[in-house]
Amino acid sequence: MKKAFGPLLILTAAMFACAPFLIAAAPYEATMGLVQKIFYFHVPSWFAMFTGVFVCGIYSAIYLFRGTPAADRVAFASAEIAVVFGLMGLVTGPLWGRKSWGVWWQWDAHLTMALLVELIFIGYLLVRKYGGPGSEKLGAGVAIFGMANVPFVYVSANIWRTVHPPTSVVPTLKPVMAGPFWFCVSAFMLLFALLLMLRLRLENQRAALDALYLEEE
C-alpha cells in the first residue's frame, strides 16, 4: 500500500493534467454543444461516489458482524470521500441542467436518488461526529440501510417521473467520446483510491494514538 502511493499519486496527477486536453479535443455533441463536456467530469464523480457508498456499506456489514475495528475505519474514510464526490456531482449536474432543461433542479429519478444518498451519507458523518460513544455501530447500521435504500429510491422516483438522460448513453458513446470519458473515469477512480488510502492512514494513526493513550493510563 505505502509503496504504491507515490507512483499512483504521480499517475493520477498526470492523468488529471491531461484530461482537459483530451476533453477539449473530443468533438462537440450535436444538440448540447460545449455544455455537454461537463459530462466528462459529472458522470465519473458519480461513479466514484457510488463506489464509496458500496465500499462503506460492505465494510460496515463486515464491521458489524465480525467486529473488526479496521473495517470500520475503511467504512468511515470511504463515506467521507463519497460525500465529497457526491457534492461534485451535485454541483456539476445543475450547471448542465440549467442549459439543457432551463432550470437548476428537476425532481427526477436520478437527481432525487443522488440527493437522498448524499443526505443519508451526510447523516452518517453527523452520527459519527456527534453520536457520542457507540457511534461506530450506529453508523454501520445507517450505512447498511442507506446502501439497501439506493434501488428503492431509484425505482420509486423513476416511476414518479424522469427527464435525466438515461444511463444507457454510457455504453453507446461514440469512440471519439468514449476514449476521453473512460480516461476521466479511471482518473476519478484512481483519485478515489488515493484519497481513501490517505484518509485511512489518518484513521489508522488516530486509532494507534488512542491505543497508546490507553496503554499509558
Partner 1 sequence: MFATIALLVLRKDVAIEVKSREILYTTLFFAVSCVLVFAFAFVKEGRVIEDAPAGILWIAIAFAGTLALGRTFERERYGETLRALLLAPAPRAAIYVGKLLGMILLLLVAELLLVPLIALLFGAAALFARPLLLAGLLLTGTVGFAAVGTLFAAMLVRSRTRDVMLPILLYPITVPVIIAGVRGTSALLQATPDEPAATMWIALLVCFDVVFVTLALWTFEPLMTE
CB 48 within 8 A of CB 190: no
- 95/119 with CB nearer partner 1: 119
CB neighbours (10 Å) of residue 195? 19
| Residue 33 beta carbon to partner 1: minimum distance, rounded to whole angstroms | 35
Max Cα–Cα distance, the chain, nearest Å? 68
Cβ 117 to partner 1 shortest distance, Å: 8
**What is the secondary structure of 90-146 as a DSSP string?**
HHHHHHHHHHHTSSS----HHHHHHHHHHHHHHHHHHHHHHS-TTHHHHHHHHHHHH
Q: Which residue has the cell 465529497?
A: 84
- Taking the complex as a whole, how short is the minimal distance between the CB of residue 136 and partner 1, in angstroms? 11
Name which of 61, 83, 80, 63 is nearest 72 in CA terms: 63
Identify which of residues 37 and 128 has a Cβ nearer to partner 1 in the complex.
Answer: 128
DSSP state of 163: -
Which residues of the chain form contacts with partner 1 (CB under 8 A)? 64-65, 112, 116, 119-120, 123, 126-127, 130-135, 137-138, 140-142, 144-146, 148-149, 152-153, 155-157, 159-160
Q: How would you label 138-157 residue by residue, b for 16+ Cβ within 10 Å and e otherwise?
A: ebbebbbebbeebeebbeeb
Distance of alpha carbon 161 from the chain centroid:
24
CB of 50 to partner 1, least distance (A): 16
The nearer residue to partner 1, 126 or 163, going by C-beta atoms, is 126
Nearer to partner 1, 37 or 136 (CB): 136
Compute the least distance from the CB of residue 171 to partner 1, in Å: 27
- Name the minimum Å distance from CB 70 to partner 1: 17
Smaller CB distance to partner 1: residue 121 or 183? 121
Cβ proximity to partner 1: between 137 and 201 the closer is 137
Q: Identify the helix (H) or strand (E) that includes residue 199.
A: helix 175-216
